[in-house]
Amino acid sequence: MCAKSLLLVFGIILGLSHLSLSQNWETFQRKHITNKTNINCNKVMYDKLFFIGNQCKILNTFIYSTADTVQDICSGLRSSTSFELTDCFRTSNNSPPCPYRSYSEDNVISVRCERTLPIHFVRKGRC
């Protein structure tokens, strides 16, 4: 097989693998937006099934807000306002159910958008 054909096949496989890792607006909301001000990380991380294979997810950030307010970030409304956030982070490598601790703070957020909808939580803090 020539080098160009091999690169084409590799590019297609890489592109398809990216699709399997992407998420949509509904998934983003389920994973990151909450109206609860007091999260029990052990419960919510298990209830929402945050697993990658047979391993518990290391970290997840929850945003206390409405979906509309978070969606406005993708509409060109660069909000400098902070969101109330809670990080749930895994404290050991146990198999599910895994122990988690929480850390709460107010901070700005960055998200990746598609068609004016947030689909991926990028980071806390300013870019």
List 32, 60, 65, 83, catalytic entry: 32
Q: Do 25 and 32 contact (CB within 8 A), yes or no?
A: no
Pairwise CA distance, residues 24 & 84, whole Å: 22
18 is catalytic: no
Domains of the chain: 23-124 (3.10.130.10)
In degrees and rounded to multiples of 5, residue 4 shows phi and psi of -65, -40
Residue type for position 92: S
Structure token pair of residue 37: 């001000």
pLDDT digit string (tens) for the chain, length 127 residues: 555 444 444 444 444 434 434 589 999 999 999 998 889 999 999 887 777 777 889 999 999 999 999 998 887 655 668 999 999 999 998 778 889 999 999 999 989 999 999 999 999 987 6
List 48, 57, 120, 124, catalytic entry: 120
